[in-house]
Structure 1
Amino acid sequence: MSSDSGPTDRNRLDEAESPYLRQHADNPVNWQPWDEQALETAREHDAPIFLSIGYSACHWCHVMEDESFSDPETATLLNEHFVPIKVDREERPDLDAIYMSICQQVTGRGGWPLSAWLTPDGEPFYVGTYFPPEERRGMPAFGQLLEDIAGSWSDSEQREEMYNRARQWTDAIESDVGDVGQPGDVPDDEALQAAVDAAIRAADREHGGWGNGPKFPQPGRLHYLMREVARSDRDDVRSVVTETLDAMADGGLFDHVGGGFHRYCTDREWVVPHFEKMLYDNATLPRAYLAGYQLTGDERYAEVARETFAFVERELTHEDGGFFSTLDAQSVPPAGRREDADAEPEEGAYFVWIPDEVRAAVDSETAADLLCDRFGITESGNFEGKTVLTVDASIEALSESSGLEASDVERTLASAREQVFEAREERPRPARDEKVLAGWNGLMITAIAEGAIVLDDVDPDPAADALAFVREHLWDESEQRLARRYKDGDVAIDGYLEDYAFLARGALTLFEATGEVEHLAFALDLAHAIEREFWDADDGTLYFTPTSGESLVARPQELTDQSTPSSTGVAVQALLSLSAFVPHDRFETIAAGVLETHANKIEANPMQHASLVVAADRYLRGDLELTLVADEVPAEWRTTLAETYLPDRLLAWRPPGDGDLDAWLDVLGLDDVPPIWADRTERDGEATVYACRQFTCSPPQHHLRNALDWATEQA
């Protein structure tokens, strides 16, 4: 039977803009995007859907494509018996959340590619992740599985069983991602303490981080641990924070040649990473290092943030502003080699080294030896005969072994790193996913804006350029709606809660960094859109999908921190801060409602709800509002803000003149001066600061340090 005799007659992914979908456009599988045409085809032909969800930098997605989706016989099975749909999880996190939920519930694990078989109405009846072409390690062969499912579907009794299972599983999805549970009181201080104590108990005190297997960065946990350090100065909490920051910065998670972080490490010791670089990791991790720098004064942490920002600006920035999504783990083969099957790039080849390659790149034998000793580059290697760079020797040890002064060792290593970087630039480069996603850009805008507050050599302009790019291409001013994805002029997909929440926080942080009121105005627009599109007053929750969005088998929420922060937690934090600038209490009411609705879940597992734990803590304690009234910002203020760890800080810049303030109110669409600015004027003709928390304010001060000392006394 020919492959065009099934419900779909061709592969439609050549019409897609997603780089991940386009990677599959040449498959013999008649892939469809997730759209009404594909779903209607399934209903019309009464055919089951095979749903495959992945992303462009996913290693096992590439493997399954090579083994199965490029195989004509497997393609024939898919084309004849199923409507095969391919989804980019980075574009459609709602679909990913729904079907990953049931995969984890049924199989006890998740991952990508996610493989799900659905009824024509989208209800799942079989799920898994990667399936090999031949039976292996308890996993069924993919082709045989397709034949078995197709045979069961054609049998009326077995199909009825599949429908019954689909209904049960759909109920389970709704209970997992859509259930609001029984509300309680807003979690109190004990929730933060429980989260801290759980994180300390679970910490890997030998190697840093959490867990005894593969190591994932957990910046959300670090943030609530650092809040506890600032309050109690507990030695055990401080140690877990610094051990984890040091492990990630010294190990293979960090790119010691080009800066930036890989996705995660495959081992307990943080040595060998999965080599893809995601924008969200390179946004969330620098914020943790900036906070760690403020808390400890360790200059290494500041340098990690600087090098990460430099990597993002160099390799993940659109020429018109905005940030791309991903660098793949694999490189693009050189021109002329694509037809050579044996020339497929090796995983991580761009990033690993052998000593001879270092010696060829570095013009000094001494410098090459120092670099190899510093980063553990050996003949045997630590990854398939080559070396992933990790910090293997201290500067002091290298100084002693080489007879050089420590400053000379550092200077020599810096020069050698530059030469190795230049040599690496000649290698085939990792493929880049050039989607610009609104939410991930919001994370990066937040990080760079925070970097500009903390480090005097970080420029906020890339963040401002990215925000301008998003506003130009993804924000509909007249409809007050946000689209999620831009790619080569094509805009698609309604924004999710994470897009609005992450961007709102980014715009607010950029206002804090620059004092430019247009950024605050955009943050408020996004907050009002969150209220309109995602808040359900009856259920007392913020849903992940907009009210006006597509109807799916469940309407998910995102309460836990995963590879990105909980969009619900970030939204609550943003709404709490932005409530200071509006004449109503609706933002605070929404924040309280969400925290009450999900109190039991937060208290039952606080470590998994890091962003919501921080949100509850901010709600109970209130922001530290610093109203800064100045035309010219005193250098002392900049220095104090840079040096001082203030996790609940809200910088409310205010122009000293009433005329300028009136102009700001016009931009914000406000008729009255919000309390955070009211009667807080410049005194004695000098820059003036007011510190307030929980409706109690300091006297006007000319020195920011004095205002912070007052706030410390009130805490």
Structure 2
Amino acid sequence: MNHLADSLSPYLLQHKDNPVDWYPWGGEAFDQAKKTDKPIFLSVGYAACHWCHVMEHESFENKTIAEFLNEHFVSIKVDREERPDIDQIYMNAVQVMTGRGGWPMSVFLNHDQKPFYAGTYWPPTERQGMPGFLQVLDAIADAWKNRRGDVVEHANDISKALVQIAIGTDDGLDDEAPDASVIEVATDHLLSSLDKREGGFGSAPKFPHATDLMLLLRRGQITGNSALTDAAVLTLDKMACGGIRDHIGGGFARYSVDGHWLVPHFEKMLYDNSLLATCYLQAFQATGEKRHAEVAEDVLTYLCRDMVDDAGGLHCSEDADSEGVEGKFYVWKPEQIIEVLGQERGERFCQIYDITQRGNFEGNSIANLKEPIESIELQAELADDREKLRRIRDKRVHPGRDDKVLVAWNALAIKALSLGGAVLGRNDFLFAAIRAAEFVFDKMTKPDGRLLHAFRGKTAHLDAYLDDYAYLAEACVSLFETTADAKWIERAVQLAEIMLKHFEDKDRGGFFYTANDSETLITRNKDWHDGSLVGANASAASAIWKLTALTDRDDFREAVKETLVSGSVVIRSQAAACAALITVLDRYHGDHEQWGIAVPDHASLESLRTELAQVFRPQRTLSWIHSDSEKTSEIIKLNDNRKMIDGKATLYRCKGFTCDAPITGHDQIVQAWRVASGA
């Protein structure tokens, strides 16, 4: 028995019975390393990671390798989802030393937590040009024993590089945010890297890149450049047809291993599905094409049905493997389909969804479409068939689930569910969003308003990170736009104030990923780039900019400007990796339109909300003045002195808090909204 049995993390608990003497990250492990004069082997992964499972089975369950590790190293296991701060720092180290990254992440540290050697997956013995893990361990142990001076010097050099990478900027900062020309450079780059046949950017493996797609949809709507919208729509359509989408149960896998979205890495992540649901909703808003709304509805139905915790939050992920086999839960043979649907409908389903005797994945078939289904009647029949198959599939052994709840990932889901509730007219989605948000504020918030990052087993723990606060603030703004309840803006303002107090870099602008009173690591990182998630600085600036348009607070406005100034080097030189930050820059230069709508009651709100939400409005701030909600004008300056006229719904169109003559009446408001949106 190692030291992981008391962990809350499902990933760490997966390793509690390994013969490796694992420690969780903490003082006990580092004290032991110093006491025994051993280097540290840091292994970072996550519960749904297929190759993490492979390395565990091949190496960490191998008694010979475990004995060598235990004799020569102090081994630390980290769940990257619980400790993204640790993951970010040492992933930078892996990329500096190897030129690539990924999980499982394997890093060797000295007693000062400084890395001196790193990699990702190693097989247990030499294979296909890769050194064996035992061979790597032997070389590291020898270097530690016989060439300690070289190890220390190399660790110091790597750590110096990590400090500069963590900041993400240089000393030659500008005085102003980059001009808007950078935005076109970024979208031009996306178009040039677009796979014009299969969608997506670059070659295999292909990731959804949700923030890139959102930027294209936004700029396509603003500029009228259909090539931008078409690029996003092509990618979304190809993904919706591909095997990366779970056509039977809903949702998307993390990425496709091929260039045409057929064979996924089967794990399903909450953040991917939340971001993609938002993407498809925005595509529907921008194009009016119902197929995008149907995909979004499919994803959100999956989240509400399969991923909601009994307490109200949403779980992190579902594994790729079941019964030790990758993808086994998701694949089919024709006879299995026919057994459920009958001969005629079963054969039709197999033909439409590419389920064959030969198969398209290791002798089995991943359901996928060659093209979208146009016939409404056929769509309805296939929906019935898919539901029958889902119920049968549900009897199979399910993939493992990481059932912890993370604030940041839940916030992405809250935002998607809130938008979905408005756009699709689905109050159940809105209820799920509100329930999840209330769960976070009830169970994952300390009395002083500070958040706790993770929850599992009735216990919330770990100081929250910048993205927890930023994503949740954005989700609260979305909930206000959907419900008109000003408490969500009040909460968003509180979160923004905490970001300014505990995360803002007062000297250079922008925000650190960890709070100023969090655990001290070898560097304090700034998260500028989008990966599978939205860059934390981008989300923080986005949330605060939205609040600026509602509250007219100068400290909020200045924080956004300083973030863009601080991030100017990243924006100019690495635009391909920071679409969300580019979007904030676009908002900063162009989002000055504010619409306040006074409504008499909740019924009027719902009626207007559904019609307005179906039209894309990327440059517009929306506020509600609702007679059933309290304190709106106390929190939201945009609502000052805005009232209904003659008891009718009334629209106030403003720019810089200066408003045009009001417009009254439901139909007139909808017409004005559509005209201003170019619909």
**TM-score bucket (shorter structure):** over 0.9
Q: CA deviation at 1:648?
A: 3.1
Match of 1:704 among 658, 669, 675: 669
Q: CA deviation at 1:31?
A: 0.2
Matching residue of 2:487: 518
Whether 2:441 is the aligned partner of 1:475: answer: no
Q: Is the 8 A contact 2:600 2:644 kept in 1?
A: no
Report the 3-state secondary structure (helix = DSSP H, G, I; strand = E; otherwise coil) of the residue aligned with 1:32.
Answer: strand
Matching residue of 1:317: 308
Match of 2:368 among 390, 402, 412: 390
Q: CA deviation at 1:239?
A: 2.0
Matching residue of 2:626: 655
Residues in 1 aligned to 2:413 and 2:129: alpha-carbon distance in whole angstroms:
41
Residues in 1 aligned to 2:371 and 2:195: alpha-carbon distance in whole angstroms:
22
Whether 2:165 is the aligned partner of 1:171: answer: no
Residues in 1 aligned to 2:266 and 2:606: alpha-carbon distance in whole angstroms:
41
Q: CA deviation at 1:118?
A: 0.2
Alignment of 1:296-311 (within 5 A): 296-311=287-302
What is the aligned residue count? Answer: 670
Structure 2 residue identity aligned to 1:422: R
Q: CA deviation at 1:656?
A: 4.5
Q: CA offsets, 1:83-135, max 9 Å, x none?
A: 10000000111111101111112211100000000001100000000011111
Q: CA deviation at 1:695?
A: 4.0
Q: CA offsets, 1:143-171, max 9 Å, x none?
A: 1211221122112xx11000000000001
Structure 1 residue identity aligned to 2:620: R
Residues in 2 aligned to 1:693 and 1:559: alpha-carbon distance in whole angstroms:
30
Distance change >3 Å, CA 583–CA 285, structure 1 → 2? closer
Whether 2:272 is the aligned partner of 1:249: answer: no
Distance change >3 Å, CA 517–CA 408, structure 1 → 2? closer
Q: CA deviation at 1:607?
A: 2.0
Deviates more, 1:702-711 or 1:215-224: 702-711
Q: CA deviation at 1:429?
A: 0.8
Whether 2:326 is the aligned partner of 1:347: answer: yes
Distance change >3 Å, CA 281–CA 79, structure 1 → 2? same
Matching residue of 1:464: 434
Q: CA deviation at 1:407?
A: 4.6
Q: CA offsets, 1:420-475, max 9 Å, x none?
A: 11110111111110010011001000101111221112530101100111111111
Matching residue of 1:502: 471
Matching residue of 1:121: 112
Matching residue of 1:85: 76
Q: CA deviation at 1:393?
A: 5.5
Structure 2 residue identity aligned to 1:547: N
Matching residue of 1:401: none
Whether 2:101 is the aligned partner of 1:110: answer: yes
Whether 2:617 is the aligned partner of 1:646: answer: yes
Match of 1:183 among 151, 165, 173: 173
Alignment of 1:360-375 (within 5 A): 360-362=339-341, 364-375=342-353
Alignment of 1:226-625 (within 5 A): 226-331=217-322, 333=323, 345-362=324-341, 364-392=342-370, 395=373, 406-459=375-428, 460-476=430-446, 478-582=447-551, 584-625=553-594
Distance change >3 Å, CA 145–CA 281, structure 1 → 2? same
Q: CA deviation at 1:711?
A: 4.8
Distance change >3 Å, CA 73–CA 605, structure 1 → 2? same
Q: CA deviation at 1:232?
A: 2.6
Distance change >3 Å, CA 187–CA 695, structure 1 → 2? farther
Deviates more, 1:382-391 or 1:176-185: 176-185
Distance change >3 Å, CA 139–CA 357, structure 1 → 2? same
Residues in 2 aligned to 1:315 and 1:361: alpha-carbon distance in whole angstroms:
22
Q: Is the 8 A contact 1:693 1:711 kept in 2?
A: no
Residues in 1 aligned to 2:320 and 2:66: alpha-carbon distance in whole angstroms:
26
Residues in 1 aligned to 2:673 and 2:22: alpha-carbon distance in whole angstroms:
59
Q: CA deviation at 1:706?
A: 4.5
Q: CA deviation at 1:581?
A: 4.2
Residues in 1 aligned to 2:671 and 2:330: alpha-carbon distance in whole angstroms:
48
Report the 3-state secondary structure (helix = DSSP H, G, I; strand = E; otherwise coil) of the residue aligned with 2:5.
Answer: helix
Q: CA offsets, 1:11-58, max 9 Å, x none?
A: 110010100000000000000000121122222333211000000011
Matching residue of 1:6: none
Report the 3-state secondary structure (helix = DSSP H, G, I; strand = E; otherwise coil) of the residue aligned with 2:622.
Answer: strand
Q: CA deviation at 1:271?
A: 0.2
Distance change >3 Å, CA 318–CA 420, structure 1 → 2? same
Structure 2 residue identity aligned to 1:114: M
Q: Is the 8 A contact 1:180 1:539 kept in 2?
A: no
Distance change >3 Å, CA 492–CA 407, structure 1 → 2? closer
Q: CA deviation at 1:272?
A: 0.2
Residues in 1 aligned to 2:143 and 2:517: alpha-carbon distance in whole angstroms:
37
Report the 3-state secondary structure (helix = DSSP H, G, I; strand = E; otherwise coil) of the residue aligned with 1:541.
Answer: coil
Whether 2:125 is the aligned partner of 1:134: answer: yes
Q: CA deviation at 1:699?
A: 1.6
Q: CA deviation at 1:582?
A: 3.9
Q: Is the 8 A contact 2:333 2:365 kept in 1?
A: yes
Q: CA offsets, 1:668-711, max 9 Å, x none?
A: xx5xx643011211112211111223344232112323543675
Matching residue of 2:640: 678
Residues in 2 aligned to 1:394 and 1:580: alpha-carbon distance in whole angstroms:
40
Report the 3-state secondary structure (helix = DSSP H, G, I; strand = E; otherwise coil) of the residue aligned with 2:361.
Answer: coil
Q: Is the 8 A contact 1:321 1:466 kept in 2?
A: yes
Q: Is the 8 A contact 2:638 2:657 kept in 1?
A: no
Percent identity between the two aligned chains: 38
Structure 2 residue identity aligned to 1:231: I
Q: CA deviation at 1:297?
A: 1.0
Q: CA deviation at 1:542?
A: 0.4
Structure 2 residue identity aligned to 1:142: F
Q: Is the 8 A contact 2:476 2:489 kept in 1?
A: yes
Q: Is the 8 A contact 1:448 1:458 kept in 2?
A: no
Distance change >3 Å, CA 583–CA 604, structure 1 → 2? closer
Q: CA deviation at 1:377?
A: 0.5
Report the 3-state secondary structure (helix = DSSP H, G, I; strand = E; otherwise coil) of the residue aligned with 1:57.
Answer: coil
Q: Is the 8 A contact 1:626 1:691 kept in 2?
A: yes
TM-score by length of 1: 0.91
Residues in 2 aligned to 1:550 and 1:325: alpha-carbon distance in whole angstroms:
24
Report the 3-state secondary structure (helix = DSSP H, G, I; strand = E; otherwise coil) of the residue aligned with 1:14.
Answer: coil
Residues in 2 aligned to 1:376 and 1:698: alpha-carbon distance in whole angstroms:
56
Deviates more, 1:167-176 or 1:457-466: 457-466
Matching residue of 2:150: 161
Distance change >3 Å, CA 603–CA 458, structure 1 → 2? farther
Report the 3-state secondary structure (helix = DSSP H, G, I; strand = E; otherwise coil) of the residue aligned with 1:47.
Answer: coil
Structure 2 residue identity aligned to 1:162: V
Residues in 1 aligned to 2:347 and 2:467: alpha-carbon distance in whole angstroms:
47
Deviates more, 1:245-254 or 1:602-611: 602-611
Residues in 2 aligned to 1:230 and 1:531: alpha-carbon distance in whole angstroms:
32
Structure 1 residue identity aligned to 2:331: V
Structure 1 residue identity aligned to 2:18: N
Q: Is the 8 A contact 2:168 2:570 kept in 1?
A: no
